[in-house]
Structure 1
Amino acid sequence: MEPYIPEMLPLKGIIDCERLLTFVARANMMLGRYDGLLCGIVNPTIMLSPLMNEEAVLSSRIEGTQATVDEVLEHEAGLVSPKSNHEDIKEIINYRKALLSAQKHLEDKPVSMYLIREMHRILLDSVRGQNKSPGEVRNEQNWIGPAGCSMENASFIPPDPMQLSGFLENWEQYARANEKDAIIQAGVLHAQFEMLHPFKDGNGRLGRILIPLFLYQKKVISRPMFYLSSYLEGHRDEYYLRLRNISSNKEWNEWLEFFLNAVTEQAVANVRKAGQIMALYEEMKGRIQSITHSRFTVAVLDSLFWSPVFNVIEFAKNANVPRATVTTIIRKLKKHDIVKELKTGKGRSPSVYCFHSLLDIVKK
Structure 2
Amino acid sequence: MLPCVPDNLPLLDLRWREVLPLVGRANAALARYDGMLQTLPNSAILLSPITANEAVLSSKIEGTQATLDEVLEAEAGLITSETRRGDIEEINNYRAAVGIAEAALADRPITLSLIREVHQQLLRGVRGRDKTPGKFRDDQNWIGRRGDTIDKARFVPPSPVTLFGALENWQDYIGLESEDPVLQTAVAHAQFEILHPFKDGNGRIGRMLIPLILYQRCALSRPMFYMSEYLEAHREDYYDRLLGITDYQDWHGWITFFLQGMIEQAEANLRKVKSIRDLYEESRRTVVELTHSQFAMAAVDAFFTRPIISGTAFADAAGFNNRVTANNMLRQLETNSLITKIRDGSGRTPAIYAFPQLINIAEGKPVFKEIEPRLL
What corresponds to 2:371 in structure 1? Answer: none
Distance 1:297 1:90 in 2: 32
Q: Is the Cα–Cα contact under 8 Å of residues 295 and 319 in structure 2 kept in the other structure?
A: no
What corresponds to 2:279 in structure 1? Answer: 280
Distance 1:202 1:66 in 2: 16
Per the TM alignment, residue 97 of structure 1 is displaced from its structure 2 partner at its CA by 0.8
Per the TM alignment, residue 319 of structure 1 is displaced from its structure 2 partner at its CA by 2.3
What corresponds to 2:344 in structure 1? Answer: 344
Distance 2:100 2:319 in 1: 23
Per the TM alignment, residue 84 of structure 1 is displaced from its structure 2 partner at its CA by 4.9
1:316 aligns to what SS in structure 2?
helix
2:341 aligns to what SS in structure 1?
strand
Note the residue ranges of structure 2 that are not aligned, 5 or more in a row.
365-376
1:362 aligns with 2:362: yes
Distance 2:61 2:170 in 1: 24
- C-alpha offsets along residues 308-348 of structure 1, whole Å, 9 cap, x if unaligned? 00101122222222333221111110111111111111122
Per the TM alignment, residue 238 of structure 1 is displaced from its structure 2 partner at its CA by 0.3
Q: Is the Cα–Cα contact under 8 Å of residues 67 and 84 in structure 1 kept in the other structure?
A: no
- C-alpha offsets along residues 242-289 of structure 1, whole Å, 9 cap, x if unaligned? 001100000001100011011100000011110000000011111111
Distance 1:92 1:28 in 2: 30
> Where in structure 2 are the equivalents of 1:31-42 lying within 5 Å?
31-42=30-41
Structure 1 residues 298, 84: CA separation in 2 closer, same or farther (over 3 Å shift)? farther
What corresponds to 1:43 in structure 2? Answer: 42
1:249 aligns with 2:283: no
2:350 aligns to what SS in structure 1?
coil
TM-score, normalised to structure 2, is 0.95
1:296 partner letter: F
Identity percentage of aligned residues: 47
What corresponds to 1:185 in structure 2? Answer: 184
1:85 aligns to what SS in structure 2?
helix
Distance 1:182 1:6 in 2: 21
1:10 aligns with 2:10: yes
Distance 1:132 1:273 in 2: 37
> Where in structure 2 are the equivalents of 1:74-223 lying within 5 Å?
74-82=73-81, 84-223=83-222
1:223 aligns to what SS in structure 2?
coil
2:361 partner letter: I
Q: Is the Cα–Cα contact under 8 Å of residues 94 and 124 in structure 1 kept in the other structure?
A: yes
1:329 partner letter: M
Q: Is the Cα–Cα contact under 8 Å of residues 71 and 84 in structure 1 kept in the other structure?
A: no
Distance 1:315 1:183 in 2: 40
Distance 1:329 1:85 in 2: 33
Distance 2:103 2:132 in 1: 24
Distance 2:93 2:231 in 1: 20
Distance 1:212 1:160 in 2: 28
Structure 1 residues 148, 319: CA separation in 2 closer, same or farther (over 3 Å shift)? farther
What corresponds to 1:24 in structure 2? Answer: 23
What corresponds to 1:229 in structure 2? Answer: 228
2:342 aligns to what SS in structure 1?
strand
2:264 partner letter: E
1:103 partner letter: E
What corresponds to 2:57 in structure 1? Answer: 58
1:327 partner letter: N
Distance 1:6 1:180 in 2: 19
What corresponds to 2:311 in structure 1? Answer: 312
Distance 1:252 1:179 in 2: 19
Distance 1:56 1:8 in 2: 31
What corresponds to 2:300 in structure 1? Answer: 301
Per the TM alignment, residue 83 of structure 1 is displaced from its structure 2 partner at its CA by 6.2
Q: Is the Cα–Cα contact under 8 Å of residues 8 and 170 in structure 1 kept in the other structure?
A: yes
What corresponds to 1:325 in structure 2? Answer: 325
Distance 2:200 2:324 in 1: 46
- C-alpha offsets along residues 72-111 of structure 1, whole Å, 9 cap, x if unaligned? 0000101113365100011111111111111111011101
- C-alpha offsets along residues 48-89 of structure 1, whole Å, 9 cap, x if unaligned? 111101100000000010000000000010111336510001
What corresponds to 2:369 in structure 1? Answer: none
What corresponds to 1:335 in structure 2? Answer: 335
Note the residue ranges of structure 1 that are not aligned, 5 or more in a row.
none
1:341 aligns to what SS in structure 2?
strand
2:232 aligns to what SS in structure 1?
helix
- C-alpha offsets along residues 171-221 of structure 1, whole Å, 9 cap, x if unaligned? 111111123311000011000000000000000000000000000000001
